[in-house]
Structure 1
Amino acid sequence: MEFFVKTSRPESIKTATLVLPVGEAGKLGPLALAVDQAAAGALSQLLKRGDISGKPGQTLLLHDIPNLKATRVLLVGSGKEALSDRQLRKLITAVHGVLKGLGGSDAVLALGDIAVRDRDTYGTTRLLVETLADGAYQFEQFKSEKSRPRALKKITLLTDKAGLADTERGCRHARAIASGMAFTRDLGNLPPNLCHPSYLADQARNLCKTYKNLKADILDEKKLKALGAGAFLAVAQGSDQPPRMIVLDYQGGKKNEKPYVLVGKGITFDTGGISLKPGLGMDEMKYDMCGAASVFGTLRAVLELQLPINLVCLLACAENMPSGGATRPGDIVTSMSGQTVEILNTDAEGRLVLCDALTYAERFKPKAVIDIATLTGACIVALGSNASGLMGNNEELVQQLLKAGKDADDRAWELPLFDEYQEQLDSPFADIANIGGPKAGSITAGCFLSRFAKNYHWAHLDIAGTAWISGGKDKGATGKPVPLLTQYLLDRA
C-alpha cells in the first residue's frame, strides 16, 4: 500500500472514498463542516437520523453525496474528547476494515480534526500510518489459493500547510518502520525447515547487495570455535543445522563514531533440547528467532531512512534440537568471556547464545548495547502480551528505551536487577548456572546476561510476550519491538 500527503481541501478532492471524523452527538469538526457546506447540508441531514452516534470507531458509509468529487464518504466516530493511542488504533483499524472491503483503489483521510492525547501532528501521523500498513500485512506464500487481491492501493492523508512538514516526516518514518515490521513478521512466520541459521545469513548478504553502506560478516562453526564461543556452540551441537553468528555493520555516521549495537536471539527452532518441551504448541517455537528478526526489521527501517548513525547488528542464530550429540543437563561449557557455565536446563538456551554475542560486542567499543530476545515464559506471566520486559545496567539507557516505547506505542516495562537475584545463579561446580530456579525467571535471565555486559552500557528486552500472537486465526509474528527500537535510534540520530 502506498501513502501520500496532500494539502487539498476535502470537499474538492477526487477519490473513491473520503474519510471524515464525526464527534459524539453528530458534531462535525471544521473539515467535515466544509464538506457538509459544499454538499448543501447533506451530511447534517443524514446525521439527524441517528445512524452513527460518534463513539470512537463507529463507521457509516454514505453514497451519492451531492456536489462532491468523492464517490463515497466514510464517516468515523471520533468521540467527544482527545483519544488515547489505543482508541486511535481502534478507530483506524475500523476505517481500514471498511476500506479494504470496498471496490475503490484509493482513499483520502481528512482526519486532521482528531486530537490524540500527548501526540502532535508528527506522532499522530506515525501511529495512523503504521496501523494502516500493519493491518494490510498478509502472509500467504505457502497457500495454494491466495486471497483475492484488495482493490485499495493508495491512501492520501490530507493536512494544512502548517502541518505539511510534520505530516510528511511522520508518514516517511512510519513507512520505513512498517517495512521493517513486515520484514520481521515474514521472517518470524516462515516455517523452520526453511528459515534456519544459513537462511538468515543469506538474508544478511541480500541486504548488503541493496545497500552499499552495509557490510556482513558471517561467523561459522570454525570461526566461533576459534573465538572460544563454547556457550553458543553448546546450543547448536544437537542439530544438523550449523549455527551462524551474523555481523551486520551499517556506517551511516562519521567514520570513527562509536556504534550502537543490537544483539538478537535467533533460535530458529527450539525444542528445548534434552530438556524437551511439551508437544502442544511446540510449532510456535519457530518464533524463538523473533529477537533476531526484530533486529533485521529495525536495520531495514534504518537503511530505508539512511539514519546518520553507525549501527552494528549481531544475530546469534542456532537450532536447539535433541540428539545423541546434544548438550545435556549437567554439562559445563566455557563461554567466550572465559566464564564457565553449568547447564542445568537445555531449554534455557537463548542466554547461552546471547552471552557469547554480548562478549563479541565489546570489540566494537559501543555507545550502547541492546539485546532483544524471546527469552522467558516468566515474562509473559509477569507482563502478558502488552509490554516487553526491560532491564539494564545504565539508568539513562533504560529511560531512553522506556521513552522510545511510549512514543512509539510499543511499550516496555522495567524489571529490577537487584544483586540479591544474582545469588540464584550460583553453581557449586562452575562460575554460573544457566537458570536461577522457579522464582523471578525473567529477572535471573537478565542477571545472567548482565555478567557478560559489564564493559559497556547495556539493556535487555524480553519480548516473549510481545513478539507473536498465539493460536487462532490471528496467530503470527507481530513485528515488535521494531517501532520501539527504531524510535530509540531516531532519537539518537
Structure 2
Amino acid sequence: MTAAKATTKKASEKPAKSANTNNNLIQFSTKVLDPVKHATQCLVVGCYEGIKLSASASAVNAADAQQVEALLKREGFQGKTGQSLLLLNPQGIAAERLLVLGVGTPKDGNISADNFRKAIQKISEALRPTPCTEITLALAEISVADQSVEWQARQVAESLSLLDYRADKLKSKPADISLKLKKVIFGATKAQATGATKGLLLGQAIAKGVNLARELGDLPGNICTPTYLANEAKRLAHKQAKLSVNVLEEKQMKELGMGSLLSVAAGSDQPAKLIVLEYKGGTKKQAPIALVGKGITFDTGGISLKPGAGMDEMKYDMCGAASVLGTIQTLLELQLPINVVGVIAASENMPNGSATKPGDIVTSMSGQTIEILNTDAEGRLVLCDALTYTERFKPKAVVDIATLTGACVIALGNHATGLFSNNDELAKALLKAGDEAADRAWHMPLWDDYQKQLDSNFADMANIGGREAGSVTAACFLSRFAKKFPWAHLDIAGTAWRSGGAKGATGRPVSMLVQYLLNQV
C-alpha cells in the first residue's frame, strides 16, 4: 500500500451541457455493504481526532494487518476535521483506493453537523487527481449530533452533485480533468436504507437548483439577457402541470404604470421582462409564498457609470433572479405540496441617449414618485414595481432576493446574506432555514430612524440615502412597497458569487430558500 496526500486546490467540476440540459450526471444509491469485501474504485471511511478509527475503518485496518493505522501515523494524519489521506492499492480489501476523512473530536459520541459537512466537502478535493468514476461511502456509522442518516445522505448528495456543473463550457477546449464521477454508493444498514435514499434524492434536487443558479449567474451578459431568463422560465414550465409562466412585455408594464422598472430599461436595447412563475402544488385555498428576484442581467451603473475595473462581474447582478429559477427547479424535482409564485424583474442597466439621468423623477406602479439621484441604485427601482405587482397574488409571505448593495458586502463580507424584514416571524423562519441549510443570513435593522435618509425635496422619496448604512436605506426604500404583506429582503451582494481566481456564482441562497419552503410544508 502506498499513500498519496490530498491536494489543497479546489476540485474541478463535471460539465453540464447548458442551462437547458441541467441534468443529474452523478447517480446516487444506497447499499448495505461489507467494507472489506465491497469492490469499488474508492472506499471512503471516517477517522476521529487522535486516529480513532470508525467501525468500517477499523475493519479495513484489521484486514490489512494494521497497516492503515501505521500509514496514518507515518503521514502525520491526526483525524482533525478537514484532513484527508488517500491510500492507493490497499491490501486485504476489495477497494482499489481508500480515502480516510478526518471528522474531528466527538462529544458524547457525536460529531458536529459542521464537522461532518467539512469532511464531506473534502472528498472531491482529495480525489481530484484520480480517474475515479465511482466511489462508495461508509460514513453512515458516523453519528452526527441532532441529525439523522437522512440528513447525512443529503449532505453527501448536495456536495458531490455540485460536480455536475462546470463553468468552462464556453471554452473552445474545456480543460481535461481526471475526476469524472458518475456513481456514488452510500453505505447504510437495512434500517437506515429508506431514510438514506430519501436524503440522497433531496440532496440531488437541491443541488440541481443550485447548479442552475450557478450556471445562469456565470453566463455572460451577451447571452443571459432578460429574454434569455424569460425563455429559461418557459423551459422550466415545459410539460410541468404544476408550473405556469407568464412574461409581461414593456408595453404591458407601461399600461400597469411600472415607471420605476421601465426607467432602468430606458437605456438598453434589450427589452425588459417581468417574468411570473406560478407553481401550484398546494390547494387552491392555500395562499402562496412569493419569491421576487432582481434580474439585472448586466449593470453598467447607467449614467452613474461604474468604474471599469471589475465591471465584468456585473453579469452577476441577476443572481437574485437565478436563485428564484433555481428554487423553482428544485420544487419541480421534489413536487412539493405548496403554492409558490416567482416574480423576476429583468432588465439591463445601460447608458445610451435614452437612459434615465440623475435627478429624473419617475412614478412607480404604487403611485409613489421617486427622485433618481443615482442610476446605479437601479435594483430597488425594478424590485419596487415587482413587489407592488406581487400584491395581486395575496401572498402569505414575500421574500425578495437581490444583489442590491456593496454596503452589505462591507458589513457582512461573503459569509452571510443580509436579511431585512417587516415581520419577525418570517425573519426567524428564514434565519432558521439558513442555519439548517448552511446558507446563513444575518438579521439587519429596519428601523424607522433610517427612513428619513430617503427624503427628497422634489418627490415622495429619493432612491439613495447617502453613504451611511447603505444596505439599510436600500431595504427601507423597498419596505415602502411591501406594506401589504409579511416581507423579507435578502441582500446577496456578498454571497452570490466569488471573485479572484475562484471567480464564479455560488448558487446562494437557493439552499436557504428551499429549506424555508420545506419547513413550511
TM-score of the superposition, structure 1-length normalised? 0.96
Q: Which moved more, 1:144-153 or 1:69-78?
A: 144-153
Contact 1:57 1:95 in 2 (8 A): no
Within a 5 Å distance, the mapping from 1:116-265 to structure 2 comes to 116-135=144-163, 137-148=165-176, 150-265=179-294
Taking the aligned partners of 1:402 and 1:396, their CA distance within structure 2 comes to: 10
Deviation at 1:61, TM superposition (A): 2.4
Structure 2 equivalent of residue 76 of structure 1:
101
Contact 1:100 1:152 in 2 (8 A): no
1:33 matched to 2:48? The reply is no
Q: Which moved more, 1:119-128 or 1:4-13?
A: 119-128
Contact 1:85 1:409 in 2 (8 A): no
Deviation at 1:45, TM superposition (A): 4.4
Change (3 A) 1:163 1:322: same
1:485 to 513, 517, 520: 513
Q: Which amino acid is the alignment partner of residue 488 of structure 1?
A: Y
1:6 matched to 2:34? The reply is no
Structure 2 equivalent of residue 332 of structure 1:
361
Contact 2:408 2:491 in 1 (8 A): yes
Q: Partner of 1:11: helix, strand, or coil? A: coil
Taking the aligned partners of 1:60 and 1:440, their CA distance within structure 2 comes to: 46
Q: Partner of 1:378: helix, strand, or coil? A: helix
Structure 2 equivalent of residue 59 of structure 1:
84
Taking the aligned partners of 2:285 and 2:104, their CA distance within structure 1 comes to: 51
Taking the aligned partners of 1:413 and 1:372, their CA distance within structure 2 comes to: 14
Q: Partner of 2:126: helix, strand, or coil? A: helix
Contact 2:83 2:101 in 1 (8 A): yes
Taking the aligned partners of 2:72 and 2:369, their CA distance within structure 1 comes to: 71
Structure 1 equivalent of residue 436 of structure 2:
407
Structure 2 equivalent of residue 93 of structure 1:
121
Deviation at 1:84, TM superposition (A): 4.7
Contact 1:51 1:60 in 2 (8 A): no
Structure 2 equivalent of residue 379 of structure 1:
408
Q: Partner of 2:41: helix, strand, or coil? A: strand
Deviation at 1:135, TM superposition (A): 4.7
Taking the aligned partners of 1:85 and 1:236, their CA distance within structure 2 comes to: 45
Deviation at 1:48, TM superposition (A): 5.1
Q: Which moved more, 1:305-314 or 1:45-54?
A: 45-54
Q: Deviations over 1:385-416 (max 9, x none)?
A: 00000011111100000000000000000001
1:367 matched to 2:384? The reply is no
Q: Deviations over 1:450-489 (max 9, x none)?
A: 11111111110000000000122x1010000000000000
Q: Which amino acid is the alignment partner of residue 41 of structure 2?
A: A
Within a 5 Å distance, the mapping from 1:391-406 to structure 2 comes to 391-406=420-435
**Count of aligned positions:** 492
Q: Partner of 1:386: helix, strand, or coil? A: coil
Q: Which amino acid is the alignment partner of residue 134 of structure 1?
A: L
Structure 1 equivalent of residue 306 of structure 2:
277
Deviation at 1:165, TM superposition (A): 2.8
Change (3 A) 1:48 1:443: closer
Q: Partner of 1:13: helix, strand, or coil? A: coil
Q: Which moved more, 1:289-298 or 1:64-73?
A: 64-73
CA RMSD in angstroms comes to 1.7
Q: Deviations over 1:278-330 (max 9, x none)?
A: 11000000000000000000110111100000111000000000111110111
Contact 2:45 2:54 in 1 (8 A): no
Change (3 A) 1:50 1:374: closer
Taking the aligned partners of 2:91 and 2:410, their CA distance within structure 1 comes to: 55
Unpaired runs of 5+ residues, structure 1, are: none
Deviation at 1:33, TM superposition (A): 1.8
Deviation at 1:213, TM superposition (A): 1.6
1:320 matched to 2:349? The reply is yes
Q: Partner of 2:458: helix, strand, or coil? A: coil
Seq. identity, %: 55
Deviation at 1:93, TM superposition (A): 3.0
1:310 to 315, 325, 339: 339
Q: Deviations over 1:435-460 (max 9, x none)?
A: 11111111111111111111111110
Change (3 A) 1:18 1:224: same
Q: Partner of 1:406: helix, strand, or coil? A: helix
Q: Partner of 2:429: helix, strand, or coil? A: helix
Taking the aligned partners of 1:322 and 1:425, their CA distance within structure 2 comes to: 24
Deviation at 1:90, TM superposition (A): 3.5
Contact 2:398 2:487 in 1 (8 A): yes
Q: Which moved more, 1:412-421 or 1:64-73?
A: 64-73
Q: Partner of 2:153: helix, strand, or coil? A: helix
